Amino acid sequence: MTKHPLIGKKAPEISLPNFDGSTYTFTPGASGGPTALFFYPQSGTYGCTKEACQFRDALSEEEIFKTTNVSVIGVSPDPVEKQKKFVEKQGLTYPILSDEKGEARKAYHVSKGLMGLTSSSRVTFVIDAEGSVKDVLDTTINYAAHHKFVQNWLTSLEPGKVTAIASDVPTSDVSETAPPASTGKATGSEI
């Protein structure tokens, strides 16, 4: 398995339309806390809805998401109008960005999913408080692994500290379906 090319590097800044039509600029490290940036294939589909709602629920219900002050940002190739309906229907509480032109996917090296059958892979980036990419999970099929991946990375942080190195991330608690830290690829067990 190859390591994702952004691990250990500064995450690219992106500016995209948010679900409400405003331009949202993500400047890695500017918030002072970690960020979970997740790319997904299509708003409103079963797996993408489940994934987005798991992050929504984690932000309001899980102590580790609250105490680390993690920001969550979702990105898909859907147009703004579809993103708006998706956010309103699911009550999402974080930015859902429209990447119709593929600019963010290109910047983050996110390819098409399912051997080119979907316009985007399901890829989650963990970005630390300084704006560096610490780990990446790339698995289109296993939508449930992404929330768990971020949760485990946040759990590895020392109390009051919002940065960590990828080798500090415990992988034994992730679950059988998540890949080892820093591989950037799925193990195949999620299919």
Q: Which of 121, 87, 68, 77 is nearest to 19 (CA)?
A: 87
**Alpha helices (H) in the chain, listed in sequence order:** 46-61, 63-67, 80-90, 103-107, 144-155
Quick check: 152 and 169 in contact, CB under 8 A? yes
Side chain identity, residue 39: F
Q: Which residue out of 48, 72, 123, 150 is catalytically annotated?
A: 48
For the record, the structure tokens of 172 come out as 């034994």
For this structure, is 48 an active site residue? yes
State how far the alpha carbon of 57 is from the alpha carbons of 31, 46, 52, 112, 163, in Å.
21, 16, 9, 27, 23
Residues belonging to the chain: 191
Residues carrying an active site annotation: 48
